[in-house]
Amino acid sequence: MRVMIAPDSFGDTLTAAAAADAIAKGWASVRETDELELAPQSDGGPGFVEVLASRIGTVQFADVDGPLGNPVRACWLLDGTAAYIESAQACGLHLLDGPPTALSALKASSYGVGQLLDAALDAGARTVFVGLGGSSCTDGGRAMIRALGGLGSAVARLSDIDLVAASDVENPLLGDAGAARVFGPQKGADADTVARLEELNTDWAAVLAAAGHEVAGLSGAGAAGGLGAALFALGGRQLPGAVVVAERTGQQELLNSVDLVLTGEGKFDSQSLRGKLVTRIAAAGGVTGIETIVLAGQVTLSADELDSAGISAAHSVTEFAGSVELAMSDAANQLEQLAARVAADVAETAVDRGGEREE
């Protein structure tokens, strides 16, 4: 049986590539004759560049400012005249000095993302994909634009560049569904800090609007702490990050050649059903009748929800490990062991693409 192993990252615990390796190791320990195709995925967040670099382009490096001004060695990808930037490389939560706090939520900056954009443009890129997700900042992309010389200069410089925000996020910049109120608490912001971030982004939206860029209410403007809004103001458009990765890694062609898909992410919940990576893979596989199994850090969906998403089963690392603490501190090993158990469970029921049940 040919098995496609295509997980997203598991939050801050495992990159997509590391998760794919763990699943493959566990699966192979039980089903030694299966042919495994490792195809780690990304929705634009952490791992975006790593996943793409396994199939296309050449990795480039740039020294940029991290979210709190600390120097960071960030990588990006150049493929002909197309550049692929991962915002988390410059302003990711993992680049903070420790756990996010109210202070870091207020001070975190997107300046380094602007520096990465600058490097890509200097290298001759004519199309720039900016993967959004995993950011520690909620500055609406103000610092990113400042790094590009200010709003007027940035708009002029990018006027003939195809700029793409690679993100599945649909949230606007402001309001109850906006960047500060929805994602701020995940970045350490308390109630007072959320209110302050909302106020700052409201002012920033007014600046953009006064310059002719009414972007705050657009779907995706709230992605990565409002980086979406800044990219839209610079003439950018949005594409789902999972689609960008799928098209450039030959996902559908691979799906057409396998019998089973194993995918996963850190938390498989109701948000996952809103066009997120895991359900996109299940839908793509479903076109040709391929079964999809999810292995995730946590699973909160019902059997009916799984069925409606075209997923045959979902397994939780946390439940397998017995605690969130062990699932996170021993993530690769626990995921590997879970994959082995799932492989044993399907050993008697798997059906190959020829239609014959395996013995």
CB-facing half-sphere around the CA of 191: CA atoms within 13 A: 0
Question: Each residue of 36-90: pLDDT tens digit?
Answer: 999 999 989 999 999 999 899 999 999 999 999 999 999 999 999 999 999 999 9
> Hey, CA dihedral for 201, 205, 206, 210, is it positive or negative?
positive
In angstroms, the CA 311 to CA 301 distance is 11
d(CA 242, CA 167): 8
Q: Work out the average pLDDT over 294-302.
A: 91
Range 48-241 classified under CATH 3.90.1510.10: yes
Q: Which residues pair with 36 in a beta bridge?
A: 3
Collapsing DSSP states into helix, strand and coil, what is residue 229? helix
pLDDT mean over 236-261:
92
pLDDT tens for 147-205 read 999 999 999 999 999 999 999 899 999 999 999 999 999 999 999 999 999 999 999 99
Summarised one tens digit per residue, pLDDT across range 199-244 is: 999 999 999 999 999 999 999 999 999 999 999 999 999 999 999 9
DSSP 3-state of 110: coil
Percentage of the chain lying above the pLDDT 90 cut: 79
Token reading at 106:
């207020």
Q: With 0.75 as the threshold, say if the pTM is over it.
A: yes
Boundaries of every domain in the chain: 2-41+250-346, 48-241
- CATH topology classification for 2-41+250-346: Rossmann fold (3.40.50)
Give the Å distances, CA to CA, from 50 to 78, 119, 239, 331, 354: 12, 18, 19, 19, 34
Amino acid at the residue 2: R
- In the chain, what's the furthest Cα-to-Cα distance? 68
Both tokens of 192, joined, read 């007072």
Q: Kindly tell me if the per-residue pLDDT of 350 is higher than 60.
A: no
Provide CB contacts within 8 A for 298, sequence distance 6+. Answer: 266, 267, 268, 269, 316, 317, 318, 324
Cα R_g (the chain), whole angstroms: 21
